[in-house]
Structure formats: C-alpha cells, structure tokens
Amino acid sequence: MGEFSKVEIDGHLMTVTIDRPEVYNALHPMANQELSDVFDRFHENPELWVAIITGAGDKAFSAGNDLKYSAEYRKKTGTAPEQPRRRQGGLAARFDLDKPVIAAVNGIAMGGGFEIALACDLIIASDQATFALSEPRVGLAAGSGGMQRLSRMIPLKKAMGMLLTGRRVSAEEGFELGFVTEVVPHAELMAGAKKWAADILACSPMSVRATKQVVMRSLDVPTLETAMHNLDYPAFVAMTKSEDTIEGPRAFAEKRKPDWVGR
C-alpha cells in the first residue's frame, strides 16, 4: 500500500490501482514518482510477469496531470512542478519494460491519464470509459508521449482530429479507431482485464517478452529487412536459450500444460 496507489500480487500478476479518487485519480509529481517506483519493482522482480493498471472508484482511470496542484505550485514558486523521469504513471516515458502491461480503463482517461493507457500494451475499456488528449483546451500539449503514440496507433487524420480539438472519444469509438483492445460492460472490467492477463500468463513469459521487445523495437525502423536482420533483440536471444523453449515442445508432445519457469 502506497500513499497514492494500491498494489496487489496474485501469483505472477501485479494489479496497480491509482488511488486518488477524490481528484479523479489525477497525478502530481509525488504520485507519479510512487507509481514509477512500483513499476521499477515490477521490472526487477523475476516472479512478476504481467501487470494491470486501473483507477480507484467508478468515475475515472485518471484525469491526468493534477492541474490544481500545478497551479498552486506555480503560484508559490513561479515555476512549474518537475515531473519524475518516467513521467505520467511511471509508464509514459518508460522504454525498457519488456513485460506486458494492461490498462483497465474504468472511466475518464484524460490528458496524462490517456497517455498512461497509450503506454500500455492492451487497453481494456469499460463501456463507460472516455478518452481525450485534452491539453490544448487548457493551454498545454500532450507532452508525455500522447502526440507521438496516438499518431502511430491510429490513422493520422483520425489522430489529428483528436489532438487538435481535445475532443472526448467513447470506449466504442476508441475500439473502432483501434487504440482500444476490447470494450466490456462496466461491472465486468476487471474480470475482462484479468482474462487477458490469464491468456498472456498461459504463454511462456520468455516468449512474451521476446515478442514485445521485437515488436516495439521494430517500430523504430523504416524497413522490414532492417527490422528482421539488423536490430538487436536480447530478449529473443534469451528466449532461444531458455528452459521454457525446451519445456514448451516437451509439454506439447506429452499432451500436458507447460510448466513455465521464466528463464
């Protein structure tokens, strides 16, 4: 239990809840640093294979940057508060995490809250969820990856339609645009997210990490040939030398579930 978040561990699954419902789970630097520390531990712990992040309460995943705190801080100091290196949710500027993270979006995901969700590998959305990069409406811009990620995930003209207006998008429209993985009834959100987590956990964690690393690094280069033959994928190499790559075919041949060890 942290001051601004809750963490639950169930086997190889970690569930993180942003716990500031009184401000729609908006985040100030201290909350972002606490979440960054949480995901540092997730990254370092070999027994944690998948994470889910959600928001406390029924109204908000996260309203993003805590603008009230920022305004009061600027009034006192004359400068804007400095965010931690990993930015929003400890995820928005984290590029070394090969383990999958699922966003279970239970309501409003605005500004930095949407940027946290975009930084995750899957977005499972309640049918009551709404999304927006609303920063231009308050004289800001989506500086924690929102401008870059959304324009890579959906067609450019659709992304610009959201980015230049700050308009709100429903969960269903997010699914149609392509940044939402699945829309589920509000009451079934966590069950839906945990089902996706269970499906990932049924796979070798070595294979999952190799897959994520290859996909994400491949996005940084323009040609398929370069992506396939000229990039370094240490997680893929580790997978080929792992116990799991022996266990998987053996379990298939013996008609049983594999016993993954993650090394």
Sort residue 203 into left (φ over 0), alpha (ψ -120 to 50) or beta. Answer: beta
- Which token pair is 255? 């008609």
Give the position of tokens 């801080």: 73
The residue among 171, 23, 180, 177 whose CA lies nearest residue 107 is 171
**Catalytic residue list contains 173:** no
Choose the catalytic residue: 22, 47, 72, 115.
115
Choose the catalytic residue: 44, 72, 135, 173.
135
- Which token pair is 164? 């230049």
Whether 133 contacts 146, CB under 8 Å: yes
In 19-77, which ranges are E strands? 50-55, 60-62
Give the position of tokens 């811009």: 141
**Catalytic residue list contains 135:** yes
- Which token pair is 221? 């280069």
DSSP H/E element including 36: helix 29-44
Q: How far apart are CA 205 and CA 92, in angstroms?
A: 23
Q: How far apart are CA 163 and CA 159, in angstroms?
A: 6
Measure CA of the first residue to CA of the last residue in the chain; give whole Å. 29
Phi, psi (degrees; rounded to nearest 5) at 89 = 65, 10
Can you list the alpha helix ranges (DSSP code H) found in 91-155?
A: 112-119, 146-153
Catalytic center residues: 115, 135
